[in-house]
Chains A and B, each alone.
Chain A
Amino acid sequence: MLFNSFAFLVFLPIFMLGYWSTRGRARLWVMFAGSLVFYGWWDWRFIFLLLISAIVDYTIGIVMENETDARRRKRLIVMSIAVNLGFLGFFKYFNFFVDSAARLSTSLGLNVTYDALNIVLPVGISFYVFKTMSYTIDVYRGTQKAERDLLKFATFVVFFPELVAGPIVRASLMLPQLKNDHPFRYERMVSGLTLIAAGYVRKVVVADSIARLVDVRFAAPEAQTPLSLLIGVYLYAFQIYCDFSGYSNIAIGLARIFGFDFGINFDRPYFSRGFSEFWTRWHISLSSWLRDYLYIPLGGSRGGTWFTYRNLLLTMLLGGLWHGANWTFVIWGALHGTYLIAERLISPYYRRIVAKLRIPAVVSNAFLIFVVFHLTCLAWVFFRAQTFAGAWHILGKIASLRALNLPGIGDKTLIARSVLMIAVLLVFEIAEYFPMKRKATLAVRPGETVTTGAPTPEVSPAWRLAFIAACVWVVLIFGSFKGNTFIYFQF
């Protein structure tokens, strides 16, 4: 079920009625059953996969906690990871790896033929597999107590707001919140609805409007001028940002209404002054997951310079592959890994130059934001293109710098409208920047845990009412009602 679908408009009030009219275990059952309906609306068969994943990790968690023998505990955690990655590997990567192996064999002169399996990718598998994996790893490390209540654990796994496209809410954050009933709170409802309204504006007004312009450019780049393609790349940067952050806003807002705190998942990433900062602002729940369960176990920055670079690159390569079974995602990850390494190499010299030339901080920051944004856009080309050749074609055409004139562009009004909407979004983000404390970003620095709630500025209910009404009007006039799916559903 999509948040921007008619079915969800019907589902949500029914769920709310069931949720607020029950208590204790009955409420857990409502959450569990409602979430399965939400998930099964897409394809009910994959409910079983979801439940198997939950039951396996629930069982392993308890057995592992009871086990005192270190070797057996290790075996159990390996089993949990193998099952989770096995699901992911089969449903998401099987054809990709077989196809890649066949291509490699062909290039080595071996004649290999194979039939690709017709595998449907279960929605949200990458998200819930990471969620349950982090739980068993935490139990193994002893930082999380195993959950003995199956219903509670299953509800944690399937809770619908964040089930299919994140944020990846960890057990340490969610399970304690499932211990008690959350009474209805007026303030939570108002602030949750504010987030949801803002999320819908991002998704159906900004992202979906931009999608029309982006799709046509990436589908047939040969029919576009270089300037038109360049505009398409810039627009895609904002499409994916608004699409995914919009989804996160809606998910976090829904959870807030029901009494849960998920933390934040985006924090104005395009204002980052470096890539290490970017990754503490973009898809925070994933980047902190990769840091805690991949980068640090690989050795993090403890093994010297070259090991750090290797770990960064490996983490980003696998982070890229997490997004999809395509080499374009791997290249996207490799680019970000390279950016992180380059940043570590260059930043001491850059700081020295800035100090020596006495460049004002505002100029230096603006320059860094400009550079980071453009390098991010370069990587987005690989993320969005279907093939490496397609991405290369687009970049080559843009680099040719031919026909950089506006008359060659046919959809100027739509572009102008999109630019206006992006400008409004950025004004809101800049305005938000000043009064807010930076706690949310700081909370995901290495070694810290993900924050349980972003500090929200005190805004009166009257202002929130005006804001939500304005969002409704904007959605009515400028929203797309075609039920476009969220980009991150495919991951």
Chain B
Amino acid sequence: MRDARRAALWLLALLAVTVAGDRILASVLSRIALGSQFRFAQLYRAGTDADIVILGDSRGVHTFYSPDIEQKTHSRTLSLAYNGMSTVVAEAILLDYLDRHAPPKMVILEVTSLQDDLQLMTELRTYTNLSPRLRTLYTVAHPRAAAIGRVFNLYPLNSDFFSESLRCYRRSDQDWIMRTVISPELVASPRGPWIIRPRQQSLDALQRMAALARAKGITLRVVLAPYHPSGMPKDVPVFVAAAERALKAGDPGQHVWNYIGALHDDRFFGDRVHMNYDGSRELLAILERDRFFDLPHHAS
């Protein structure tokens, strides 16, 4: 009986220490994460307004290299694109950005994000305490994990984004881009049929983004970036048509800037679906030629 009483007291003490430590550590670590130069810390920390904001999934990351865009356009550029970012998440991110910053002149969206799901919410949970929109999406995508997060404050910090925040505490992560060249083995290896299909939720989000950009006087550029010839998906016209329908429903003047076959050389690609730094520079030259960064009069 004496052992049972000691054990009960010890377990109570363990619970108290664990919970207290959870609250204190979570508070300290959240502040540290928010003070970082990581892209999403910049988003949720006021005072870092940008002229050009980039959104999209990994193809957005490796297509639009913000330091080069900044140099070419003389406009402050912030890439908020991230691996696996769906258009639904991109919309929430854009709205959160507009809540905290002056509206940018231009928003660029890599449109392949239409096919992504809410997987990125596992990472973005780090910021759910700062954004009701993200919290809602996270609860929809991961109800059980969201419940754990309500009990333990440290749990939302369990993400690669938290590690990235620490890594990028003093240095910006805006220089993130593939630097390798696709290997000949990968080019030669066979690949099955590859289809890109937009999700209806993402198409709806795209429509709302187009309407929002129009209402706020923001120039929205929706781009389909190049694929390596060996990774060219099927059904691209269907995909682009669906995206354009959604865009035009939000803003009749919109269209998709389609560069899917603009580059062919292996040296421009890191793998089948992502460009590398050289590819990004090459595409930037093409975009400049096409007056992609020119702002319509109403937005300038």
Q: Hey, which bits of chain A sit against chain B, CB under 8 A?
A: 6, 183-186, 189-190, 222-223, 225, 407-408, 410, 413-414, 416-417, 461, 465-466, 468-470, 472-473, 476-479, 481
Contacts and interface: CB of A to CB of B under 8 A. Distances in A.
A221 to B, nearest CB: 9
Interface string B140-177: 00001100100010110110101110010000000000
B265 interface: no
A476 B22 contact: yes
A414 B163 contact: yes
Nearest to A189: B7
Given A184-B3, A481-B145, 5 more contacts: A416-B167, A476-B154, A476-B155, A476-B158, A477-B157
Interface stretch (B10-18, B95-103, B231-239): B10-18
Interface string B10-46: 1001100110011001000100000000000000000
Given A184-B7, A189-B7, A465-B10, A225 B162 contact: no
A481 B148 CA distance: 11
A414 B17 CA distance: 29
17 contacts: A186-B7, A189-B7, A222-B183, A223-B185, A223-B271, A408-B179, A413-B167, A417-B163, A461-B10, A466-B17, A469-B18, A472-B18, A476-B22, A476-B157, A476-B158, A477-B154, A479-B158
A225 B178 CA distance: 13
Given A476-B158, A477-B154, A481-B145, A222 B185 contact: yes
Given A414-B160, A473-B21, A481-B145, A408 B180 contact: yes
Contacts of B163: 413-414, 417
B22 A223 contact: no
Interface in B177-197: 178-180, 183, 185-186, 189
B10 A410 contact: no
Nearest to B145: A481
A225 B189 contact: no
Contacts of A189: 7, 10
A303 B160 CA distance: 57
A117 B112 CA distance: 43
Which 5 residue pairs spanning A and B have beta carbons closest together?
Answer: A476-B154, A186-B3, A222-B185, A186-B6, A469-B18
A469 B17 contact: yes
Nearest to A465: B14
Given A465-B10, A465-B14, A465-B17, A410 B154 contact: no
B215 interface: no
A225 B6 contact: no
Contacts of A417: 163
Interface of B: 3-4, 6-7, 10, 13-14, 17-18, 21-22, 25, 29, 144-145, 148, 152, 154-155, 157-158, 160, 162-164, 167, 178-180, 183, 185-186, 189, 271
Contacts of A465: 10, 13-14, 17
B178 to A, nearest CB: 7
Nearest to A228: B180
A225 B180 contact: yes
A223 B186 contact: yes
Most buried by A among B14, B155, B157: B14
A477 B162 contact: yes
B160 A413 contact: yes
A410 B21 CA distance: 34
B25 to A, nearest CB: 6
A149 to B, nearest CB: 28
A407 B179 contact: yes
Contacts of B271: 223
B185 to A, nearest CB: 4
Nearest to B162: A477
Given A184-B7, A481-B145, A469 B21 contact: yes
A476 B152 contact: yes
A185 B3 CA distance: 6
A473 B23 CA distance: 10
B10 A473 contact: no
B117 to A, nearest CB: 16
Contacts of B13: 465
A162 B7 CA distance: 25
Contacts of A477: 25, 29, 154-155, 157-158, 162
Contacts of B18: 468-469, 472-473
Contact of B158 (A184, A414, A478): A478
Contacts of B152: 476
A350 B167 CA distance: 44
B255 to A, nearest CB: 33
A313 to B, nearest CB: 36
Contacts of A473: 18, 21-22, 25, 154
Nearest to B20: A469
A186 B10 contact: yes
B111 to A, nearest CB: 23
Nearest to B274: A410
Contacts of B179: 407-408
Nearest to A183: B3
A183 to B, nearest CB: 8
B158 to A, nearest CB: 5
B274 to A, nearest CB: 10
B24 to A, nearest CB: 10
A380 to B, nearest CB: 23
A413 B148 CA distance: 25
A105 to B, nearest CB: 30
Nearest to B4: A184
A16 to B, nearest CB: 11
Nearest to A223: B186
Contacts of B145: 481
Contacts of A185: 3
A220 B206 CA distance: 34
Contacts of B144: 6
Contacts of B155: 476-477
A174 B148 CA distance: 38
A190 B154 contact: no
Contacts of B167: 413, 416
A468 B183 CA distance: 47
Contacts of B162: 477
Contacts of A410: 178
Contacts of B29: 477
A297 B54 CA distance: 70
B14 to A, nearest CB: 5
Contacts of B160: 413-414
Nearest to B164: A413
Contacts of B3: 183-186
B25 A190 contact: no
B26 to A, nearest CB: 9
A465 B4 CA distance: 16
A272 B183 CA distance: 39
A413 B171 CA distance: 14
B125 to A, nearest CB: 12
Nearest to B180: A408
Contacts of A469: 14, 17-18, 21
